[in-house]
Amino acid sequence: MDAIDSAIIDQLRRDARVSNNELAERVGLTPSPCLRRVRRLEEEGVILGYHARINPDAIDQGFEVWIELELADMKQATVERFEAALVAFDEIIEARRMFGSPDYEALVRVADRTAYEAFMTQQLTALPGLARMQSRFPMKTIKAPHEG
């Protein structure tokens, strides 16, 4: 990957809907070589896809909660059942298995505190193998990967 590829990636991060002509102009190429580079970056798996940023409040997901989850044991069967159940929830926006403690961190988005309480008590606490869970509510988002 060279400086032009990096510039293309940077521009697409800022605006994935930019036209190829505009992208080419921004990175100092003509449209044809720019399009070839974008397609190569897609084929090589550097560019994984293009996404729309959606206002979470508009889809009743304005309340964000980070949760830490620990399992009772790390047996393969427990891990597999837990992970399959966790990612099946639409309310789970991100989930990561961690080295060390906690075993998992996940981002939950729901409409409000009441919706989170219901989701937590009725869904999350029933996850197979769950030993402990802790919730944290952000005060303010300062920077997020989807921000430009």
pLDDT tens readout for residues 83-113: 999 999 999 999 999 999 999 999 999 999 9
Output the pLDDT for position 124: 97
In this predicted structure, the answer to whether residue 147 has a pLDDT above a threshold of 60 is no
What tokens were used for 55?
A: 């206002």
Cis peptide before 33 (omega within 30 of 0): no
Output the pLDDT for position 145: 74
H or E stretch at 93: strand 92-97
In this predicted structure, the answer to whether residue 16 has a pLDDT above a threshold of 50 is yes
Q: What is the pTM of this model?
A: 0.81
H or E stretch at 90: none
CA 108 to CA 115: how far, in whole Å? 11
